[in-house]
Amino acid sequence: MSKRDFYDVLGVSRGASADEIKKAYRTKAKELHPDRNADDPNAETRFKEANEAYEVLKDADKKAAYDRFGHAAFEGGMGGGGRGARPGGGDFSSAFSDVFDDLFGDFMGGQRGGGRRAARGSDLRYNLRVTLEDAYNGVQKTINVPTAVACSSCKGSGAEGGAEPTTCPTCSGMGKVRAQQGFFTVERTCPTCSGLGQIIKNPCKTCQGAGRVEKDRALNVNIPAGVETGTRIRLAGEGEAGMRGGPPGDLYIFVDVAQHDLFERDGTNLHCRVPVSMAKAALGGAIEVPTIDGGRGRVQIPAGSQSGRQMRLRGKGMPALRGGALGDMFIELAVETPVNLTARQKDMLREFDELSEDNNPETKSFFSTVKSFWDGMKG
């Protein structure tokens, strides 16, 4: 099978300019690359054909020889021009590298025309414990954060006296270097500048060229009312400073609300367990209970109340984090059995117990059920 005309392979006319030839080749390379045509067994052959055509037509001397002699210009030692390499040998890495950036720059994460941006600083985490009262009212806290801050001596540039870094001579500012490995062109991070595209000839003596130094920093943090354990507060730009003038990271405050001696929290509601005497639970009456705002709430206990009975104080709970109505406070009664009784008190309780057989309906019902159970077991 005879070779196709190189101009036909790239789809250009014989009078096409160098830019038109390169543009046509770029289009063909994208269209025919084997990685994008895994299901086409002929893709690699046509891809090599396009590379061979471009290898000749991009070179003025080879193009002139091809225009005069055709494919015969590169066969049997006929005049092939000043660079005379045989185009049909399958080595097209030179042609392919001319448009490597255009085809795969985005996939490789590179930035055309310059090196990588200065590295962004790391995000930081700070665990902050607050009281339940702080979570109710909201509070401003001053925290000390150990972090890396921009070096004041070089203003974050890393160079002595704040001088500007210079372009890396190894990668010419690209941040990457290339190496040919047979069929492929491989890109690696530049070892001289570590991918930054710039080097510092005279590093700052304070930060040793890093552009940042370790330092404790005091920050004022506003803790909004209604925060709960696990609430995350983001302070943009308050994290670690970037390398050599790079942007800073963020600081994340993770809130932990400490347990309270009196109140147990459930979302926006509060629970408070209040002990009451046996007499108060039996006779009923008013009691005073504490509230999270530091005040007092008055609760009326119904006569005959049992342990575990709950009563509600509306609007005496916690605020919602993003505004809205306050939650409620639930009072749970814990009827207390008296201890350390005197002889007279014991006698009075015995007399009371003898007279109160019909005053304990739950006890009477329970033992009635027990008796039925035992009778059933005997049967």
Separation of alpha carbons 148 and 119, rounded Å: 13
The Cα 10–Cα 64 span in angstroms is 17
Annotated binding site: 151, 154, 168, 171, 190, 193, 204, 207
Q: Where are the alpha helices (DSSP H) in the chain?
A: 6-10, 18-32, 43-57, 60-69, 93-98, 100-108, 132-137, 278-283, 343-355, 361-378
Left, alpha or beta for 122 (phi > 0: left; psi -120 to 50: alpha)? beta
Asked if residue 237 lies in contact with residue 250, where contact means CB atoms within 8 angstroms, the answer is yes
Q: Which residues contact 351 (CB under 8 A, 6 or more apart)?
A: none
Identity of the amino acid at 313? L
- 304: nearest Cα among 360, 256, 265, 252: 360
Say if residues 329 and 316 touch (Cβ distance below 8 Å). Answer: yes
CB 252 within 8 A of CB 234: yes
> Torsion angle of alpha carbons 340, 345, 351, 353, nearest 10°?
-30
Annotated binding site for Zn(2+): 151, 154, 168, 171, 190, 193, 204, 207
Greatest Cα pair distance in the chain:
132
Q: Can you read off the two tokens belonging to residue 316?
A: 């005496």
The token duo for 148 is: 């890396």
> Distance from first CA to last CA of the chain, Å, rounded?
106
| Residues across the chain | 379
